[in-house]
Amino acid sequence: MLKQLLTGLAILPFLASAQIGGNLSGDLMMTVNFFQRDTNIKASGNQLYDNFLSGGEGWLGLRYSSNGFSGTIRFDGFHNSNLQNPTSALSAAGIGMFNISKDFQNLSITAGHIYDQIGSGIIFRAYEDRGLLIDNALFGLHLKYRVNDHLTVKGFTGQVKNLFERYKPILKGANFEGDFGVGKAHFTPGLGAVNRTLDQESMDKVVSTINSYPEKERFAPTYNSYALSLYNTLNVGSFTWYIEGAYKTEEAVATDFGLRKLSGNVIYSTLGFAMNKLGINATFKRTENFMMRTSPNELLIRGLYNWQPIIAQIRPQRLIARYTPPSMDLSEIGGSLNAFYTPNDNMTFNASYTHINSLAGDTLYREAFVDAEFRNIKNLIIHAGAQFMIYNQAIYQQKVKESYPNVVAFTPFLELIYKISDKRSVRTEFQYMQTKQDFGSWAFALVEFNIAPKWSFALSDMYNTSPNYKHVKEAHHYPNVFIAHTRGSHRFTAQYTKQVEGINCTGGVCRYEPAFSGFRMGVITTF
């Protein structure tokens, strides 16, 4: 910790002594939680609610750039934070990331923490998602060289970030990307490769696990795994087609039956058509045994160094979002079809269907979704729609199928936005989810009053209208009172909320979160 802190602070003299005329910018994000014990919704039984009562996290970043040089440094602080594990406190602070880079003669060199991806991210993606405390930056060296107007080459090596430390296995990778035009067609092909080498400590844990199995289930693990990805985007007239295929060599993979020596593959494609008032988009994806971790010893979202695109669309509606399906790394095949039609400036119609199975044929997810927006009434916008869904809760949430059968739900919703004046507006939402599974049926209502550009007030409630008494003892309200104030580049928020336990998804990556009860305050600013 101390060594990394001193290394990061060593960048500051460069920022301070850089040439006058450069650009210095930064940002701050802070959240503070006050935990209010509520045994009725299971917001209790851990130190956050029983002892500590408050906690939070913050990120302060600085960036300087001048004459092809740039430097970035970010301080991260967690004090009794529930972000890493919502039922236990995380307390740590230090330099969360730093890097320096220089561009000259078509070559870009970056050292330190690196964020990048190959293709859509199937074999490598280093990115940050603070909502789920994902920050798998690659700590090492990254080179990018533009050979000419048609070819760019990238190479990198390093270790994946683990909070203020690093996972010990080493990653190495290369990426070639092109840009070509042939007649009316435009191609942007790419080829990427990644090699992961296990350290001795990780290998010893793998060997120990394998040796605990019956002799017929044992195998010889490998230190190195290799992944290759080939992809291309084709644009012709009104059509856009992206396709990517990836293959991973045999390695020890964590499955429901323990470690197994498996190779993996992924095929992912999207096809879009847009012309005049009509747009159609289709997606297909097949995944088999494609787990990409620094080590098979890591679980959940730990040690991931890739990201798999999701097939289903992420919905903003509060009740629908409870059952957002993540990508399945070991077994998944599915597709989606979406069409939207805008006959005039005042109307938009949208319809989509999603169909996802496991490779064994198990139903994972079904969704039929329609919505429409009308803007032909003065000062009023009407947005209405409905979703029918089947969600395999046992697989997605790793629960016992006999107790948690597939969730079958129908959810209509209505959103109204009324513009009172140039600066004042009122937005309301009404949603109802009818289902007999999981917690049972829900109703959700929200009213929001906005005074642009400074104030926003919102009041909402989520109520378990028809509880499933197998999993819920009684119906509960989950209210939320929210206030936001914007002053220049500063945004301040405060809310009192009760949150039902469930799955929280961001960008297709999901994790289970227990119930929350209490106050939250936040600050976001840029300078």
What pLDDT was estimated at residue 237? 92
Q: Do residues 368 and 388 lie in contact, with contact meaning Cβ atoms separated by under 8 Å?
A: yes
φ and ψ of 410, to 5 deg: -120, 125
Q: What is the 3-state secondary structure (H, E, C) of 39-80?
A: HHHCECCCHHHHHHCEEEEEEEEEEEEECCEEEEEEEEEEEE
* Helix/strand/coil percent split, the chain, to 5: 10, 60, 30
d(CA 29, CA 16): 23
- pLDDT score for 19: 45
What amino acid occupies position 315? R
Domains of the chain, by residue range, sit at 311-468
Q: Which residues have CB under 8 Å from 171's CB, separation 6+? A: 124, 138, 140, 156, 157, 158, 159, 160, 194, 195, 196, 294, 305
423/451 Cα distance (integer angstroms)? 5
The CATH H-level superfamily of 311-468 is: Outer membrane protein transport protein (OMPP1/FadL/TodX) (2.40.160.60)
pLDDT of residue 8: 52
Query: Distance (Å, rounded) from C-alpha 312 to C-alpha 361?
Result: 18
Q: pLDDT truncated to tens, each residue of the chain (527 aa)?
A: 445 545 554 555 555 554 456 899 999 999 999 999 999 888 888 899 999 999 999 999 999 998 889 999 999 999 999 988 888 899 999 999 999 999 989 999 999 999 999 999 999 999 998 888 899 999 999 999 999 999 999 999 999 999 999 999 999 999 999 999 998 999 999 999 999 999 999 999 999 999 999 999 999 999 999 999 999 999 999 999 999 999 999 999 999 889 999 999 999 999 999 988 999 999 999 999 999 999 999 988 899 999 999 999 989 899 999 999 989 999 999 999 999 999 999 999 999 999 999 999 999 999 999 999 999 999 999 999 999 999 999 999 888 888 899 999 999 999 999 999 999 999 999 999 999 999 999 999 999 999 999 999 999 999 999 999 888 888 999 999 999 999 999 999 999 999 888 776 666 666 777 788 999 999 999 99
Give the global pTM. Answer: 0.89
pLDDT recorded at residue 85 = 84
Cβ–Cβ under 8 Å, residues 322 and 368: no
Strand partners, 65: 23, 70
- For residue 40 the two structure tokens come to 């009725």
Among residues 427, 428, 432, which one has the least CA distance to residue 412?
432
